[in-house]
Homo-oligomer: A and B are copies of this chain.
Amino acid sequence: MKVNNFVYYNPTKIYFGNEQLIHLSEEVKKYGDKAILIYGGGSIKKTGFYDKIMKVLGDANIQVSECAGIEPNPQYTSVNRAAKISRDNDCNVIIAVGGGSVIDAAKVVAQAHFYEGDCWDLVTKKVDEPRALPLIVLPTMASAGSENDAWAVISNADTNEKLDPWHPGYQPTVAFIDPEITYTVGKYQTAVGVADIFSHIMEIRYFVKDHKIEFVSEMMEVMAKNVVKYGTIAVNEPENVEARQNLSWISAMITGGIMDVGVVQDMALHMTEYGIAAFYEISHGHGIAILFPRWMQYILSEETASVFYHFGQEVFCIEKGLKAIDGAQKTIEALGDWLYHQMGLESRLSAFGVEETKLHDMAVKATENCGGVLHSLTTLTTEDVENIFKMCL
């Protein structure tokens, strides 16, 4: 089968490993000597990572302005605040330290630095600003893979919207990925990060209808199998270096483009999860984890069974030789067992206070930016999404 034509381009330079921080100042100085440091709730101060970064920058006489307090599901208001600090201090390079939320916010700050209006204009694509400051990112957990792509997810609490714009200026210039930094990520955050990585492989790039290059699909099976293996290890042994380096590198590789070749991403589950996040405080990866097996169950049919069963054999070692529908069922059960028992994630939306009366509104929210229909292996209407939510209650 002929694959769709595609363009592959990823200019992000990645330093991988510990002790790479010594190269931070030389990278900053390629672009200037006034940096804005963007981070979240301050856990980088507790772990000592903040001090290490400030020492490297201070030793190189780099002037640092700061914007702390980027929230999970980052708000456009935080982007506006950071962009103002960046402009007011004539910053010429952005340094983002944190999880996907901090990095996503920093991406839009890089662009908003050049736009004095409300950054929501940029997020909604009402305005285009082609310029962006160079962006250096230091991810502190393996999860979104935002350190190696040009997507940003930004929320607007005023309009109850969560959008995911793509812009070439959002591609990080340099990323420092230190798996050992993620030792301090707790059991729960590790688990939801792992669920997010898993969905980036399986939902967004593997369970799609497009013609793919066969070996690329097989490489995704290898990645998913290792996410299952090392995800479980990392949850139980936070300082297992092999587990952390596998997860860190997989999360970056999967978003970096090499697995996208010819694939048209539809992100049905991600869109569905946005319907939850619009109304409830629930971590993105956890929402995905609750949805994934139920989505598979809902769309299980003669048509999808063989795809699910093949995946189960490769990733969960489901025995060969079963009828496709039985193998698929065992696959779904194995996925649920991994997420809810081995990884210890709560399996029900009701545990987060989600009420049945809200499910319809959530489903409308999930599909409204996609013309009321989500695509992946099958088509999901708003009603389908509501039915999947019911299975998750």
The interface of chain A, by Cβ under 8 A from chain B, is 1-20, 213-216, 218-219, 222-223, 225-226, 241-242, 245-246, 249-250, 253, 258, 261-262
Contact = CB atoms under 8 A, between A and B. Distances in A.
A249 B5 CA distance: 12
Given A214-B246, A215-B223, A8 B16 contact: yes
A17 B4 contact: yes
A241 B2 CA distance: 6
A249 B7 contact: no
Contacts of A216: 249
Contacts of A14: 7-9
Contacts of A13: 7-9
Contacts of A253: 258
Contact of A249 (B18, B223, B261): B261
Contacts of A226: 214-215, 218
A1 B6 CA distance: 36
A213 B230 CA distance: 12
Contacts of A213: 245-246, 249
Nearest to A215: B226
Contacts of A245: 2-3, 213
A222 B222 CA distance: 8
Nearest to A253: B258
Given A5-B16, A215-B226, 11 more contacts: A1-B242, A3-B16, A3-B17, A4-B17, A6-B16, A9-B11, A9-B13, A215-B222, A215-B223, A215-B225, A253-B258
B7 A15 contact: yes
A169 to B, nearest CB: 16
Contacts of A249: 213, 215-216, 261
Contacts of A222: 215, 218-219, 222
Nearest to A18: B5
Contacts of A16: 3, 5-8, 261-262
Most buried by B among A10, A11, A226, A241: A10
Contact of A215 (B12, B18, B250, B258): B250
A8 B249 CA distance: 11
Contacts of A246: 213-215
Nearest to A4: B17
A168 to B, nearest CB: 11
A77 B19 CA distance: 44
A258 B6 CA distance: 18
A66 to B, nearest CB: 27
A21 to B, nearest CB: 11
A83 to B, nearest CB: 27
Nearest to A227: B215
A20 B213 CA distance: 18
A213 B250 CA distance: 10
Contact of A219 (B18, B214, B219): B219
